[in-house]
Amino acid sequence: MKSFDPTDALTFFRLSFLVVICFWHAFPCQAEDLATQNKLLLQGKFEEAREGIEKLLPNAAFRQEALVAQSHLLEQTGDIQKALQLLAGEKNPSPQVLGRMAQLEFQLGKWDQALGHCEQGLKAHPDELLCRWIRGRIWFDSGELEKGLAEFL
Whole-angstrom distance, CA of residue 58 vs CA of residue 86: 15
Amino acid sitting at position 153: L
pTM, to two decimals: 0.76
Distance of CA 144 to the CA centre of its chain: 29
The answer to whether 34 and 56 have CB atoms below 8 angstroms apart is yes
User: What's the confidence (pLDDT) of residue 140?
Assistant: 93
- DSSP 8-state assignment for residue 145: H
pLDDT digits (tens, 9 = 90+) for 112-132: 999 999 999 999 999 999 999
pLDDT digits (tens, 9 = 90+) for 53-99: 999 999 888 899 999 999 999 999 999 999 999 999 999 999 999 99
pLDDT digits (tens, 9 = 90+) for 9-65: 444 444 444 344 333 333 444 556 888 998 999 999 999 999 999 999 998 888 999
Break the chain down into helix, strand, coil percent, rounded to 5.
75, 0, 25
Q: Is the pLDDT of residue 152 over 80?
A: yes
